[in-house]
Amino acid sequence: MHRPPLALLLLLLCRRAEAGEIIGGTECKPHSRPYMAHLEILTPQNHLVSCGGFLIRRNFVLTAAHCAGRFITVTLGAHNIRKKEDTWQKLEVIKQFPHPKYDDLTTRHDIMLLKLKEKANLTLAVGTLPLPPQFNFVLPGRMCRVAGWGRRQVHGEGSDTLQEVKLRLMDPQACRHYLAFDHNLQLCVGNPRKRKTAFKGDSGGPLLCAGVAQGIVSYGQKNAKPPAVFTRISHYRLWINEVLKEN
C-alpha cells in the first residue's frame, strides 16, 4: 500500500487503492453502517474503479482525494453492491473538492468532499456520520473499526458485501517506513503482528473510533502488511467547514 497502489485500480468500491480492502475482517450486519457510500469512478483514462466514502451531510460525502475522477456515482444504502436492493440510493456527484494541498506523490492531505446532485433521503439504511472537532487529537492505543468493499486477499477480488475489521491506532514510529508519514496529518493504523487491515478498494472509507469518523483510508503496503496510513480528519475540520458553508 504505498502511494500508487492507492490510486484508482479496480472496479469496485474499495478495490481501487492499495489501501483498499478489508483483510481479516467479517461481514457487516446488513445496513448496520448506514453512512457508508460506494463510489464508482470513471477515471480520465476511461477506466471504471471504485472507492469507499461516507455521508456527512444529506448532500455531501467525504472520501480520499486520490479517489477523484472524471465522473463519480455514489451508491448509498447498499450492503451487497452487486445486487440492487430497495434501500439503494444512486446519486451523481456534481462537484469534487479535493484538498488544495493534496500531493499525489506523497499522498499527504488525501481528503476530498463530494457534493451530490440531490440530497439523500435519510432512512434506516442511509444516515450521516459525525466528524471529530478540530482539536480532537485521537491518540495511539485506541481500538477502532474500518469498513469497506475492498479485497479480502492480496490478489483476490473485491468483496460483494460490506466487510469490517477492528484495528488499533499505533504509535507514529510504527509507520516510519512510510517516508512521507506525518503524525499531525495522518494516523498509523493496524498492528503489524496481525493480518488485519484495509486494502485495495477500501480507500476513502471511514475509520470509526467510538462512533466518530477519525480517519480516512489512504494507503498502505502492496503486500497488505499493516500498519496502513489514514488521513487524520480532525486536522481538516476548518477546511471541511469552509467548503460546506460555501456550497
Condensed to tens digits (0 to 9), the pLDDT of residues 17-60 reads: 333 345 556 788 889 999 999 999 999 899 998 999 999 999 99
- Looking at the structure, do residues 91 and 171 belong to the same domain, yes or no? no
pLDDT of 157 over the 80 cut: no
- Looking at the structure, do residues 124 and 162 belong to the same domain, yes or no? no
Q: What is the DSSP letter of 11?
A: S
pLDDT of residue 200: 53
3-state SS class at 6: helix
- Looking at the structure, do residues 219 and 174 belong to the same domain, yes or no? yes
Give the domain extent around 206. 142-234
Find the catalytic residue in 110, 159, 218, 235: 110
- Check if 203 is active-site: yes
pLDDT of 10 over the 90 cut: no
Residue 181 forms part of a structural domain:
yes
3-state SS class at 180: coil
- Average pLDDT of span 194-215: 81
- Check if 99 is active-site: no
- Check if 110 is active-site: yes
Residue 49 forms part of a structural domain:
yes
Residue 123 forms part of a structural domain:
yes
Residue 216 forms part of a structural domain:
yes
pLDDT of 155 over the 80 cut: no
Q: pTM of the full predicted structure?
A: 0.87
Find the catalytic residue in 50, 159, 203, 234: 203
- Looking at the structure, do residues 165 and 113 belong to the same domain, yes or no? no
CATH number at residue 180: 2.40.10.10
Find the catalytic residue in 31, 38, 50, 66: 66
pLDDT of 165 over the 80 cut: yes
Residue 242 forms part of a structural domain:
yes
